[in-house]
Amino acid sequence: MARPVVLVADPDLAAAARLVTPEYGDLEVRAAEERADWLTSSAPGAAAIVTLAAKVGADALGAAKNLRAVVKMGRVYDHVDLDALRKKDLPLALVRRKGPNCVAELAMTLILALSKDLVVANRGVTKGLYRYRGLRPVLSSQRVMAFRWLAPANLHEVVGKTLGCVGFGEISAELSRRAQVMGMNVLYTRRSRMPEAHEQLHNVAYRDLNTLFEDSDYVCIAVPHTDATHQLIGQEQLKRLGPNGYLVNVARGGIVDEPALIEALQKQEIAGAGLDVFTYEPLPFDSPLCRLHNVILTPHIGGGTGTTRDAELREALHEVRRLLAGEAPTLPAPLP
């Protein structure tokens, strides 16, 4: 019996596909080639298509007469033609990606830590700064305690606050879910705006870059560092964020004009920042950032314990096996 053909639509996944193919002897895994028409020309024999970011359009879906499964690695799927999927009466299965989840976790951690002035609070407790407020330790009980004994000036709740995402790929999609659970409103900006139906799916609203900074309490940067995004965030955007706003960067240091950010923090033109990435890494120990009290710094840990494309592709191929066996998607995508 012929093995089901699985097309891995992204050329970026070709190396990973070659690596993991021996583990899936029951499937014929074909890796994308650097040809614009590869997916469409290969589709007629396909039982399944796996995509990370490659466009899966009506032409490819229409040509795939025997298609039984489409798997998207991640949660952002505006590059998949959903009308064509409906015509074939096929669901779209999503597979969570470890990398974006790890980065989103750190971004949310930094947001919550900034809202609780956590580093300053910890430092104040460990250094016994209550002594400078004329306090002394007393035995606590249910009704006797020293509530907010250091009177943190920047303590606030994130519920009702607005998060602006610079970029809306897999990291921002995961972060927005977490932020909304915490009661935050979410805005986004990116090079190409998502279709309205996808904005509704993610419950996010679009703004251009400068308006995003004006309308947000927190801004999180989650775009690649390219020529187009180099020092994308500078003095103008930081001024628009304002003295009550916070910047979180979990992308790359060069996307932010670091001297402009340091100046804005020193002058309290913005309230604070949570930074996992820097212009130079490791961050030089004598950087002015290390002497600021309104910054939380982490040593580029956003990727968590690490992941690889082959590990993520294994998850997708495991889902393909399930779908070809007649099982329902583990994580079905809503089709607006």
Quick check: is 148 catalytic?
no
Note whether residue 54 is domain-resident: yes
The Cα–Cα gap between 87 and 84 comes to 5
Catalytic residue among 281, 291, 293, 327: 281
Q: Are residues 258 and 319 in the same domain?
A: no
Tell me the pLDDT tens digit for each residue of 109-164: 999 999 999 999 999 999 999 999 999 999 999 999 999 999 998 999 999 999 99
Check residue 119 and give its pLDDT: 94
Check residue 232 and give its pLDDT: 98
Q: Is the pLDDT of residue 198 over 90?
A: yes
Is the omega angle on the peptide bond into residue 22 within 30 degrees of 0, that is, cis? Answer: no
Mean pLDDT within 253-257:
98
Predicted confidence band at 336 (pLDDT cuts at 50, 70, 90)? confident
Q: Are residues 176 and 273 in the same domain?
A: yes
Mean pLDDT of the chain: 97
Quick check: is 252 catalytic?
yes
Catalytic residue among 198, 300, 314, 321: 300
Mean pLDDT within 36-56:
97
Check residue 155 and give its pLDDT: 96
Q: Are residues 82 and 202 in the same domain?
A: no
Q: Are residues 213 and 80 in the same domain?
A: no
Q: Are residues 312 and 291 in the same domain?
A: no
Mean pLDDT within 36-62:
97
Note whether residue 148 is domain-resident: no
Quick check: is 293 catalytic?
no
Note whether residue 191 is domain-resident: yes
Q: Are residues 316 and 281 in the same domain?
A: no
Identify whether the C-beta of residue 293 lies closer than 8 Å to the C-beta of residue 270: no
Mean pLDDT within 49-75:
97
Mean pLDDT within 190-197:
96
Instruction: Tell me what percent of the residues of the chain surpass a pLDDT of 70.
Output: 100
Check residue 210 and give its pLDDT: 98
Number of structural domains the chain divides into: 2
Q: Are residues 109 and 208 in the same domain?
A: yes
Q: Which domain holds residue 175?
A: 100-117+153-297
Catalytic residue among 252, 258, 312, 319: 252
Check residue 27 and give its pLDDT: 97
Q: Is the pLDDT of residue 36 over 80?
A: yes
The Cα–Cα gap between 142 and 221 comes to 42
CATH of the domain at 231: 3.40.50.720
- The tokens for 87 are 């015509």
Note whether residue 229 is domain-resident: yes
C-alpha distances out from residue 132 to 122, 138, 177, 244, 264, Å: 16, 16, 42, 27, 29
Predicted confidence band at 335 (pLDDT cuts at 50, 70, 90)? confident
Note whether residue 224 is domain-resident: yes
C-alpha distances out from residue 80 to 52, 72, 155, Å: 10, 9, 43
Tell me the pLDDT tens digit for each residue of 268-308: 999 999 999 999 999 999 999 999 999 999 999 999 999 99
Q: Are residues 35 and 174 in the same domain?
A: no
Predicted confidence band at 60 (pLDDT cuts at 50, 70, 90)? very high
